[in-house]
Chain A
Amino acid sequence: DVKVTQSSRYLVKRTGEKVFLECVQDMDHENMFWYRQDPGLGLRLIYFSYDVKMKEKGDIPEGYSVSREKKERFSLILESASTNQTSMYLCASRPLNQPQHFGDGTRLSIL
């Protein structure tokens, strides 16, 4: 079974802090994704990566950056956390033209 592991299930940070969310997959998938999930809005794509060191902006990239130095790891960075970034963050990975596999999610609260 594919395993997508997110480093934290719950995280509480303060406004202005730099926040790192980590995601690791164990199936050598090319594509990895970061979404945020908010009630009534479904999943919105923040960034995705289709290869090491390659990244593309999704629908809502403002305030976020990403890093993919190794194929198995895709990090989401909040450069200076703000309260409107309080949300559920979901990481996913997949091989080309196949369904996505999701991690358990990180519920991030910015105080």
Chain B
Amino acid sequence: AQTVTQSQPEMSVQEAETVTLSCTYDTSESNYYLFWYKQPPSRQMILVIRQEAYKQQNATENRFSVNFQKAAKSFSLKISDSQLGDTAMYFCAFMKHNYGQNFVFGPGTRLSVLP
């Protein structure tokens, strides 16, 4: 079974600074997807970024980028130029390839961006 670990329950960062959220996972699969979701205080979960395991290039979406280390089973999220609107819970998630099944979510990291 797959597991996803986020070792930082809470983090804070000053506005305009850069912060990195950690995620590790355990799987015997060779092809899979990884995701970061954001859940602001308003509650709706929003997809931030996705990475396909067969792609070596790290995904980037504007201020959000990942450091995907397949051998180490690590998938960290870097937020550059942090903004107050980035304050949220962040969940790392794993999905097997070609399965119509669920994701496996990590326990989440609560990020606070301080003015």
Residues in A with CB closer than 8 Å to B98 are 97
Chain A residue nearest to B46 in the complex (CB): A102
Question: Please, how many residues of chain A have a CB less than 8 angstroms from a CB on the other chain?
Answer: 26
Residues in A with CB closer than 8 Å to B91 are 42-43
Q: A33-B102, A48-B102, A97-B97 are in contact. Are A42 and B107 (CB under 8 A)?
A: yes
Q: Shortest Cβ distance from B6 into chain A, in angstroms?
A: 8
Q: Shortest Cβ distance from A1 into chain B, in angstroms?
A: 11
Residues in B with CB closer than 8 Å to A99 are 33, 35, 47, 50
Q: In the bound complex, how far is the Cα of B105 from the Cα of A70, in angstroms? A: 27
Chain A residue nearest to B44 in the complex (CB): A104
Q: In the bound complex, how far is the Cα of B107 from the Cα of A88, in angstroms? A: 14
When each residue 92-115 of chain B gets 1 if its CB lies under 8 Å from chain A and 0 otherwise, what string results? 000001101111011110000000
Whether the pair B44, A58 counts as a contact (CB closer than 8 A) is no
Residues in B with CB closer than 8 Å to A30 are 100
Chain B residue nearest to A59 in the complex (CB): B102
Chain B residue nearest to A38 in the complex (CB): B107
B44 interface neighbour in A35, A45, A97, A103, Cβ under 8 Å: A103
Q: A103-B44, A104-B44 are in contact. Are A42 and B105 (CB under 8 A)?
A: yes
Q: A41-B107, A42-B106, A50-B100 are in contact. Are A90 and B45 (CB under 8 A)?
A: yes
Q: Shortest Cβ distance from B10 into chain A, in angstroms?
A: 11
Chain B residue nearest to A103 in the complex (CB): B44
Known: A40-B9, A42-B105. 20 other contacts (CB 8 A): A40-B107, A41-B107, A42-B106, A42-B107, A43-B91, A43-B103, A43-B105, A48-B101, A48-B102, A50-B100, A50-B101, A56-B101, A92-B45, A97-B97, A100-B45, A100-B47, A102-B44, A102-B46, A103-B44, A104-B42
Interface residues of A (CB under 8 A from B): 30-31, 33, 35, 40-45, 48, 50, 56, 58, 88, 90, 92, 96-97, 99-105
Q: Which 4 A/B pairs are nearest by Cβ-Cβ distance?
A: A102-B45, A42-B107, A43-B105, A42-B105
